[in-house]
Amino acid sequence: MDVAESTGNLADQLLRLTRRLHRAQKQYLQPLGITPAMSRLLRVVSHSEEPLRMVDLAQRLDVVPRAVTTLVDGLESFGLVRRVPDPANRRVIRVELTAQGRDALQRLRDARRAAAEDLLAPLGPEQREQLGELLAALDRDPSRSC
């Protein structure tokens, strides 16, 4: 098979997988009442030592700051996160998890793992390890934790 053609095929497979993962994610998040974008934000918040600023969240989620405002509005209305002012800089708002938010995050992780287990069922342990290595090689910049 021609190199260009095989690259095209790989692109097709990746796009199909992307689509499938997107649908699966929506499925397993639905019962939790959390949207995929909120789920990403919660994970970024939980991965950080200190409460992040809105602008940091935007950078790590790779979206414009305005998008973060909407997401935090939603999560705050659900009681999962809290906006706290920064004493050192009155422009800044920091976002931290509430106790409810930590609970939700745990349920979210469990649901994600169950969904992944289902998706990965066709692969044996050594194939999963292979896949993990390939994905790590593809991901040159692991700083974005979304």
The SS3 assignment for 53 reads strand
The Cα–Cα gap between 48 and 59 comes to 13
Q: What is the DSSP letter of 50?
A: S
Nearer to DNA, 54 or 108 (CB): 54
Q: Is 26 in the site for a copy of itself (CB under 8 A)?
A: no
Q: Is 74 in the site for DNA (CB under 7 A)?
A: yes
Q: Is 102 in the site for a copy of itself (CB under 8 A)?
A: no
For the chain, how far is it from start to end, CA to CA, in angstroms? Answer: 36
Q: Is 107 in the site for a copy of itself (CB under 8 A)?
A: no
Residue found by looking up tokens 């649901």 in the block: 111
Nearer to DNA, 46 or 69 (CB): 69
Identify the CA nearest to 95 among candidates 141, 131, 48, 139. 48
Binding segment for a copy of itself among 6-14, 67-75, 78-86, 89-97 (CB under 8 A)? 6-14
Binding mask 54-93 for a copy of itself (x = CB under 8 A): --------x-------------------------------
Q: Is 132 in the site for a copy of itself (CB under 8 A)?
A: yes
Shortest distance in whole angstroms from residue 18 CB to DNA:
11
Which amino acid is present at 109? R
The SS3 assignment for 141 reads coil
The Cα–Cα gap between 4 and 25 comes to 31
Binding site for DNA (CB under 7 A): 35-38, 53-56, 61-74, 83, 89-94
